[in-house]
Structure 1
């Protein structure tokens, strides 16, 4: 097979690891950019410069740093900084514009709320276009990430159509369809887009601008973060109101499961855990388990299985199901549970109450703590992830890399990444259930508990299977490489008509 042609790829995103991160989107942008750059492509990332970003000590202003951003009826300005993506040949550009981005939070502006997000991310999308002209660097592919960049494909099909940038193909990735970017229609004027894009060309939804809808309508190709999620979002129950559009674009919609950064999440080298280990040499995992129990105030007991949660505490994650069965688990199973995360106040209180009723056996640490997250994944026997929907999920992959078996609902990327245990055969990498009910979770945790106590040899086989699963970005990056090629072919064909 001849080598694939090298391409110029621009990633436009609201966040990117390791600079600033709210969720998995940032991890994907950073890791995918790195993996694609390793294949020889010229990859560049554009994100805002937020207050308090990390790993920017090497950032330097461009030689000509003042960028003119051509918005509707007026011009604005941004100062552009350049920085290498750590550990990669990819390059990052940061857009400094204090009116919108002088804040340490990605999705809340300097005003402290989300009221100006339509303007903030319109500015990002328009500035990304103007930066290409400023640099006289024109990508083959513009890869847009989620609703915050939904105007980019529209710009490419309208204002930029007859410019050198207009021949770039666009790829729009849906990280979570639930978040769509709804704003007042005045955003169209602020963006300087033709009025026709509102009513006729996909941007309008229920009288308002829907940024994600517009991006999906105009993108050359659409991806989402797992094959199962790509099918789920074409159905009314999973489509968040956009299932008709996604069915219409089904021929251009491709599900590609995310990978994980094995430099950060590797039990053999992880500096954040007290002892390293790998498949076939698991002594260090026992040390991590004891350290986990001490960190959470659980009884230090190597004989009891530890179930952990590392998650945001929101309805999507299904953790109300765990809260509902917490007392029953403590009364009827010899297990320990450790919860790490923040979110819904009612859920936080429910887990605190369980910890008070069952000291030494149920614990909740209601904060974000990266070091404790690594220890929780490394030291636990099982990870509980009963999501109502999960576009991809990364925690289950981190867990498997550390020999911690996931207990998941069969949805989205969880169904694609966790192979169901077949009792008696030692096949599988975790435990799955179908229905988002408290009983389904309870009985699946009971199944895992019985396996822990009654079939330890099979449990060890499942751990080995999980640790040998390949969740690196290399395979997924190869699929994206193909998608970029298909998108570019389609764009060129459109211009030749």
Structure 2
């Protein structure tokens, strides 16, 4: 089959800039698509944190003209580089006024007031850059609200531009909670015409993600379960009706993970490597982890790990409400994360109250995240919603059995324990309540103490699972081709 020209637009890309899972996808999917033979290009903003020298970025000749509606034409520079260890080109839109800031979207949690103009400018820049490069994409792959203007522009401003004669669009929703809501005057900047206002209108203002959903040729989410969930009131964040109407073009594609980085057999950030045929190194990693968190080095009790943002979405209030009852069990818990200030202070206090049972590191360290995955026996993820989730997939590979709420990608990737001991890769609960969380942790702990053979078999089951990017890339490839055929009326 013919190769595709694919242009991926994202507000963040690993390793250049990251706040969440979007960056992981934007940094990994292009490599896998390139391996399938496609011509893939990436575009992202050039924030101050993107080190031009470190990544060998080169300034392209000539400035890029970017029409901004009533603001007139603005100008940007463009830097070109490569994804590390690949030949995938990545272009950085350079505009000091919009992107010359330390934060990507906010400053100390306060969103930049001109985020609407910033990302409309970026979206228009993507279109203009494609023309400058004379790159004719078969598909432009937009991500989240930041680039939701692209499908709108493709169907309006650029509808009759020969550079995009057969170009289709895919919009991936990584987290529906964030939608890009602004005042209605944004229409004058967006430039698609006020006759399209009704497609974006929400409570008298503009919702950029709403417009993207309406105009995109296809919509995807980062797991099959999440694609179902966002059609419901519980998970739809007010857009469930619109998404349900557009469900004919909705697809769920589970994110992959990079097993060259997240595998205990090759992990250079853990003290001892291991694999399913020889788990002895895991016990040594556990002992080292207990030492790191200054809790007693007890091999006989289950050690539960947590890594993630200390925010409501991740179920942090559930954990806070349950923690005293959890620590009545004969267990240890180690936590790595940062987020809401009350949570940071609360769990620091818990560590002081239970020095033999609870260890806490406020902040983020990649090496420590790897060590928690390797050294823990169980991994707790009680998310209120989880579009995909990666830590539970990492945990599977490290033989660290996940305890998860059955939502989104957590439900898709974890098979519940069966008492026959032959099946299952973790422990799931359904209600977002302290009792459900406590009972499921208790179930996992009971299995540890009373069915060790079943527990070990589950570890082997877990370590045999694979969710790599090759499979995900083939699903995206199939979806891209459907978009192309639809655009051409085939």
> Which TM-score band (shorter chain)?
over 0.9
Displacement of 1:190 after TM fit? 1.5
Distance 2:57 2:351 in 1: 49
Aligned to 2:81: 83
Task: Give the SS at the match of 2:18.
Answer: coil
CA distance in 2, matches of 1:292, 1:415: 28
Query: CA 1:310–1:54 in structure 2 vs 1: closer, same or farther (change >3 Å)?
Result: farther
**1:57 shift after superposition:** 2.7
Shift of 1:295: 1.4
Shift in Å at residue 319 of structure 1?
2.0
Q: CA deviation at 1:110?
A: 11
TM-score, length of structure 2 as denominator length: 0.97
Aligned residues of 1:429 and 1:465 also touching (Cα < 8 A): yes
Per-residue deviation at 1:262? 1.1
In the TM superposition, residue 65 of structure 1 has moved relative to its aligned partner by 4.2
Q: Does the alignment pair 1:375 with 2:374? A: no
Which residue number in structure 2 is paired with residue 245 of structure 1? 242
CA contact (8 A) 2:264 2:273 kept: yes
Secondary structure class of the residue paired with 1:76: strand
In structure 2, the residue matched to 1:405 is 401
CA distance in 1, matches of 2:190, 2:98: 15
Residue 117 of structure 1 corresponds to: 115
Structure 1 residue runs without a partner (length 5+): none
* Aligned residue in 2 for 1:130: 128
Distance 1:488 1:76, change over 3 A: same
- Structure 1 residues 193-225: Cα deviation after superposition (integer angstroms, max 9, x where no partner): 2111212xx111111110111100000000001
User: Contact conserved, 2:421 with 2:453, CA < 8 A, in 1?
Assistant: no
Q: Quote how far apart the aligned CAs of 1:454 are.
A: 1.3
Q: Under a length normalisation based on structure 1, what TM-score does the superposition of the two structures give?
A: 0.95
Matched residue of 2:103: which SS?
coil
| TM-fit CA distance, 1:133 | 0.9
Which digits, 9 at most, give the CA deviation of each residue in 1:344-366, with x for residues without a partner? 22222221221111112111111
The alpha-carbon distance between structure 1 residues 246 and 130, as it changes in their structure 2 partners (threshold 3 A), is: same
Give the corresponding residue for 1:195.
Answer: 194
**Which piece of structure 1 moves more, 232-241 or 210-219?**
232-241
**RMSD between superposed Cα atoms in Å:** 1.6
| Greater Cα shift, 451-460 or 210-219 | 451-460
**Is 1:275 the counterpart of 2:272 in the alignment?**
yes
Residue 233 in structure 1 maps to residue 243 in structure 2:
no
1:330-389 C-alpha deviation (Å, 9 max, x unpaired): 22x110011111112222222122111111211111111111111111110111001111
Q: Conserved in 2, the CA contact under 8 Å of 1:103 and 1:110?
A: no
> How much does 1:287 deviate?
1.6
Mark the runs of 5 or more structure 2 residues left unpaired by the alignment: none
Match of 1:422 among 390, 393, 418: 418
Deviations 1:219-272 (A, max 9, x none): 000000111111111111211111111111111000111111112211111111
SS in 1 for 2:370: helix
Specify the SS of the correspondent of 1:167.
coil
Change in 2 beyond 3 A, CA 1:452/1:481: same
1:45 paired with 2:42, answer yes
Q: CA deviation at 1:61?
A: 2.8
How far apart, in 2, do the equivalents of 1:110 and 1:82 lie?
Answer: 29
Q: Quick one: which of 437, 449, 452 aligns to 2:448? A: 452
Q: Which moved more, 1:117-126 or 1:80-89?
A: 80-89
Deviation at 1:168, TM superposition (A): 0.7
Deviates further, 11-20 or 450-459: 450-459
- SS of 1:64's partner is coil
Over 3 Å counting, the alpha-carbon distance change for 1:56 and 1:204 in structure 2 is: farther
CA distance in 1, matches of 2:126, 2:427: 43
Structure 1 residues 433 and 54, CA gap change in structure 2 (3 angstroms): farther
* 3-state SS of paired residue (2:488): helix
* Aligned counterpart in structure 2 of residue 143 of structure 1, from 129, 137, 141: 141
